[in-house]
Structure 1
Amino acid sequence: MSDDKTLREALAERLAAGGRLRSPRWRRAVLDTPRHEFLRGGYFRRVDGDGPTGWEPVLSDDPAWLPGTYDDESLVTQIAGTVAPVDIHGRIFRAPTSSSTLPSLVVRMLEELRLEDGMRVLEIGTGTGYSTALLCHRLGDGLVTSIEVDEDVSARARTALGAVGLRPRLVVGDGLDGYPEDRPYDRIVATCGVLDIPPAWLAQTRPGGQILATVCGWMYSSELARLTVDDGVAHGRLLGGQVSFMLARPQLPPPLGMLPDLGQGEEREALVGADDLDDWTARFVAQIAAPRTQRILIPREGGETWQVFLDVDAGSWAAVRRDGRGWTVRQGGPERLWDRIEDHLTRWRKDGSPELDRFRITVTPDARTITWSS
């Protein structure tokens, strides 16, 4: 038995034991699909230290490379939008921009799609092509369309898919626009986070079809949502589990630019402390109120740190700081961000602080509404 086959079997066993891999059809897909073929160009290993997070390449001639490709981990394959593992000697200290998602999340999402034979699927975010290959194994190449915004990433995925004998339709473009040529789709699945479900996805999903995507905000709490589309409107719920993906590149937050003068604005006692947003679900609730708000930490004189919430486009901001045993907030701009966040968090707590799997989501071409049940 080859080393990679043994590693595939071990991976399938781990995924099944963890409750992610449930159906025989998907188990067969995992056993038959060599993940290492989609990581031939290597991946980046995270290196933590006293300074910023660094990344160092792990290439195919490294003994750690092959077993690493079958770890249940997300493996970074691109840094800073252009840098591949083969481009680096030593370490790079920039942000990841593409990765091979951890297999347990890939198969969880594929199971959540509830696919049936003959269904047509649009995948948003080809990445390495591994999840695309699993979809092809289940449905056949002719029913899978995958779109990727990065031409180089798409080219590498095409090569890997070809190496294992698969020929789905691969498209280079903005996945937020979908791909109307192959519509309607029975399923749309996104392997990137989105602030809003794009109207194009609603229009390209057949009535009764479903969209599976991770909704999030710029405070980086996110959750997987399954939506059913009917008459151009999608209804569904969040599935729970703290699912996180890199944001779709067109929806990345804008540069912060010059920060506001925190000595201006109106000050009052805060009813909610900024540290409450360290909780994943509470932060998600805050994002419902302010989805395009960024959260940053600003050191002040005397060792004090202010948490600043900034909506760059609207020009609104809130600076929250400890004041003795309580909290104080100072706000400026056309809207009162912290007022909105406090209102949502207070109502959520009054309803018993329900978990994210009790949240409902409705999407129209013009708006997104998220509510919860107590």
Structure 2
Amino acid sequence: MSDLDTAALRRTLADQLADAGHLHTPPWRTAVQEVPRHEFLRAGFFERVTSPGPTAWRPVQAESPGWLVRCYDDESFVTQVAGTIAPADVRGEILREPTSSSTLPSLVVRMLEDLQVEDGHRVLEIGTGTGYSTGLLCHRLGDSLVTSVEVDPQVSARAATSLGACGYFPDLVVGDGLAGHKDSAPYDRVIATCSVLDVPYTWVEQTRPGGIILATVTGWMHASSLARLTVGEDGTARGRFLEGGVSFMLARPQLPPPLGMLPDLDAGEERPARLAPSVLDDPTALYVAQLAAPRAQRLTLPGPAGTHHILLDVDASAWAALRQDGERWVVRQGGPGRLWDDVEEHLLRWQADDAPSLEQFEIEVSPEGQRVDWVRA
């Protein structure tokens, strides 16, 4: 397909994003129309295999029919699995977890607009990935004002090749993005394309007063929300969660520990539960529960007495298991602390405050750490 045809694909993508309400400002629309997304997917991607059982992935190579047109779909594409495996490494299907991807363009441009950049701003991007969002930043600001940190050397090298093919040469750093990159600080804007358990204070230190940090704050129960914080003169960043769900892969250094051997669910202490586990089906309630038990993982386990809904904090050796007993729910808890007690306390307090939405939550990051709570009427 000719350069003229790919330009048409880029214009069509920009039109679709604008018509759907994701793209609002002329500078970012121009960037979408000019930056060729397919250059960042030349190494191929993985598509999900629709079949019963565990999720499998099948490689789609650049020479595959329809590959180029698919590059301009508003879709996320997995570009690496298991930490090292690229599409060219696989023949057939693979049953491993995704570890890098090209985020759907509508989310990319939504976040770039939420970042509120202006001409002359210096931006730190955490998570280079394929480099597509880096390319959009370079087009908008100039590559001398863009620094992007990627933990995976191979991913960073592929992004550098793709960016160079487009004529962009930002400062690409291989390292732990949670540490930022102080050599190019201070920044006017920091944006993370991975989720974090806690916004690192290093990002706050490396951002000018009045600067903005945009990051998805999540937990091991997989509740997440996009936060926008402004750094104050006092060295504390404060902000709110933005409307609309956002989910990214968790920063690799913050991945949860393996579950290992599950606890003996007949041990511990049992009591009637004040809340059923179905309360966690609500995304905001799940986020509140995650605040109460920030290092707990959530799973279900079928058993002869019915399904157990389990919270497990591996490092603390604490656990809670809920099961239905006739018309009521009971919870059995073990280890130091009582996970479900803490979750119930937070949820009942949140419900008593009229269950505020995530947009009514405040987040603060200071040298003492991160604090998240909802605003009370």
State TM-score, norm by structure 2: 0.97
Match of 1:224 among 226, 230, 237: 226
Question: What secondary structure does 1:76 align onto?
Answer: strand
**Per-residue deviation, residues 28-70 of structure 1 (Å, max 9, x unmatched):** 0000000000000000011121110110011111112111111
Question: Do residues 271 (structure 1) and 279 (structure 2) align?
Answer: no
Counterpart mapping for 1:1-374 below 5 A: 2-230=4-232, 231-302=234-305, 304-373=306-375, 374=377
> Counterparts of 1:240 and 1:327 in 2: how far apart (Å)?
33
Give the fraction of aligned pairs with identical amino acids, expressed as a percent: 63
Give the residue type in structure 1 aligned to 2:292: A
**1:198 Cα deviation from its structure 2 partner:** 0.7
CA contact (8 A) 1:58 1:64 kept: no
**1:306 Cα deviation from its structure 2 partner:** 0.3
**1:278 Cα deviation from its structure 2 partner:** 1.9
CA contact (8 A) 1:211 1:228 kept: yes
CA contact (8 A) 1:318 1:331 kept: yes
| CA RMSD, Structure 1 to Structure 2 (Å) | 1.0
CA contact (8 A) 2:201 2:369 kept: no
Give the residue type in structure 2 aligned to 1:240: E
**Per-residue deviation, residues 283-308 of structure 1 (Å, max 9, x unmatched):** 11111111111001111125x11011
**Per-residue deviation, residues 223-271 of structure 1 (Å, max 9, x unmatched):** 0000011222110000021100000000000011111111111111111
**1:325 Cα deviation from its structure 2 partner:** 2.1
**Per-residue deviation, residues 90-119 of structure 1 (Å, max 9, x unmatched):** 110110000001101100000011111111
Question: What secondary structure does 1:133 align onto?
Answer: helix
Structure 2 gap ranges (5+): none
State TM-score, norm by structure 1: 0.98
Question: What secondary structure does 2:217 align onto?
Answer: strand
Give the residue type in structure 2 aligned to 1:299: P
Question: What secondary structure does 1:353 align onto?
Answer: coil
Q: Aligned residues, how many?
A: 373
**Per-residue deviation, residues 138-194 of structure 1 (Å, max 9, x unmatched):** 110100000000000000000000000000000000000000000101111000000
Which is further off, 160-169 or 349-358?
Answer: 349-358
CA contact (8 A) 1:242 1:280 kept: no
**Per-residue deviation, residues 307-365 of structure 1 (Å, max 9, x unmatched):** 11001111111001112222110011111110111111111112222221111111112
Which is further off, 125-134 or 347-356?
Answer: 347-356
Give the residue type in structure 2 aligned to 1:301: P
Which consecutive aligned stretches of 4+ in structure 1 deviate over 4 angstroms post-superposition? none
> Counterparts of 1:366 and 1:256 in 2: how far apart (Å)?
29
Which is further off, 257-266 or 160-169?
Answer: 257-266
Structure 1 gap ranges (5+): none
